[in-house]
Amino acid sequence: MMAVMRNSNTTARAAAKDATHERIVAVAARAIRRSGYDGTGVADIMKEAGLTHGAFYSHFKSREAMLAEAAGKACAESAATVADVVAGVPPGKALVSMLSAYLSREHVEQAENGCPLAALGSETSRQAPEVRRVTTRHVKEMIDLLARQSPDWGQPSAHERALVTLSTMVGALLLARAVDEPGLSDSLRLAALQHLAPAAH
């Protein structure tokens, strides 16, 4: 009986630790998109997660390890959002729907919950290898998802078009967020949308 109770207590503690770990990663995933990698400090993350700074090292071996997990979470959330858009429309409309959602004003205004490539792209080259590896995987997944929307999927032309589409999407969103003139911001995203998916405009 005591062994069962000990096992139950150990399992409960492990589950609580896992839940806490996930909470920290979720907070960090929002923070890096809001403030950038360099603007995201361990103390701020732990405070926002409702934990002490000292508890950090029972969850991560380093700040870089936390950032890599946060980047992974941000990428997974972004991929899930795109997958939901694709799943909700007929196959022939998926690309237009993806582009319309990605290049929307709402996405421009919601960096904290949006695409990590646009929010963090210019900083990523200076990050630790594990952070760059996570980003590379996400870029490849997005290229593949975009290529799958092409009638000639599987051909080099579909892959090349997906490379250009992703580069244009991310670049347009990044610039639309960077400028301080709402009209120019709208023009940047709408021009990209018109170029990539004329039917959406």
Cβ-Cβ contacts under 8 Å for 123 (sequence gap 6 or more): 36, 37, 38
* Three-state SS at 85: helix
DSSP H helical ranges for 88-155: 94-102, 105-109, 116-124, 129-148
Question: Looking at residue 180, what is its pLDDT?
Answer: 96
Q: Where exactly are the structural domains of the chain?
A: 2-200
Distance between CA 198 and CA 96 in Å, rounded?
Answer: 9
Task: State the CB neighbour count (10 A cutoff) for residue 70.
Answer: 28
Q: Residue 142 above 80 pLDDT?
A: yes
| Dihedral, CA of residue 27, residue 33, residue 37 and residue 39, to nearest 10 | -80
Tokens describing residue 15: 């589950």
pTM given for the model: 0.83
Residue 92: pLDDT band by 50, 70, 90 thresholds? confident
Domain 2-200 = CATH 1.10.357.10 = yes
% of residues, the chain, pLDDT over 70: 94
